[in-house]
């Protein structure tokens, strides 16, 4: 992965959902809390080729982050989902998961910073 920065436009994303930025951040925090567990579950499922579990998780992540307008995360989840459905190279899926985690950590930091301002 190129070292890219995750861009989140709080005003635009919340406006497109017709909610306040504060409500958007609360919803985003709940998604972050759940995604933390989802990442752990995927990290344990991939080495044992538990593709159905990974497919279920990636499908959920696509919806969560597409709805929250975080397209970088939904796009990576979609790529993993397609590869898992085809039961393609687990190593490539792990690389995509690593990219997802990198961007996810940026999102976590963004939310933490936004709460303090």
DSSP letter assigned to residue 47: G
pLDDT score of 2 more than 60: no
Residue-wise pLDDT for 50-88, tens only, equals 999 999 999 999 999 999 999 999 999 999 999 999 887
Q: How many CA atoms lie within 13 A of 58 on its CB side?
A: 26
At 97, which CATH number?
1.20.120.160
- Determine, yes or no, domain membership for 1: no
Residue 89 within a domain: yes
Model pTM? 0.92
pLDDT tens, residue by residue, 20-48: 999 999 999 999 999 999 999 999 999 99
Number of domains the chain is built from: 1
Encoded tokens for 116: 């303090």
Q: Which helix (H) or strand (E) holds 45?
A: helix 21-45
Is 116 among the domain residues?
A: no
Per-residue pLDDT at 92: 93
Any domain includes 81? yes
Is 92 a member of any domain?
Answer: yes
Q: Which phi and psi (to 5°) does residue 49 adopt?
A: 55, 40
Nearest CA to 77 out of 91, 57, 106 is that of 57
117 within some domain: no
Among 24-28, 35-39, 90-94, 113-117, where is mean pLDDT lowest?
113-117
Please state, in angstroms and rounded to a whole number, the distance separating the CA atoms of residues 95 and 24.
29
The verdict on residue 4 lying in a domain is no
Q: Which structural domain, as residue segments, surrounds residue 65?
A: 10-111
Measure the CA–CA gap between 90 and 2, rounded to whole angstroms. 20
Inside any domain, residue 5: no
């Amino acid at each position: 992965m190129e070292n890219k920065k995750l861009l989140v436009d709080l005003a635009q994303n919340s406006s497109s959902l017709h909610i306040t930025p504060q409500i958007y951040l609360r919803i985003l925090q709940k998604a972050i809390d759940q995604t933390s567990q989802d990442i752990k579950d995927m990290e344990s499922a991939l080495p044992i080729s538990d593709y159905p579990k990974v497919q279920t998780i990636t499908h959920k992540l696509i919806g969560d982050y597409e709805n929250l307008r975080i397209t970088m995360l939904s796009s990576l989840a979609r790529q993993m989902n397609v590869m898992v459905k085809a039961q393609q190279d687990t190593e490539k899926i792990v690389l995509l998961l690593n990219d997802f985690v990198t961007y996810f950590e940026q999102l976590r930091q963004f939310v933490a910073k936004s709460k303090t301002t």
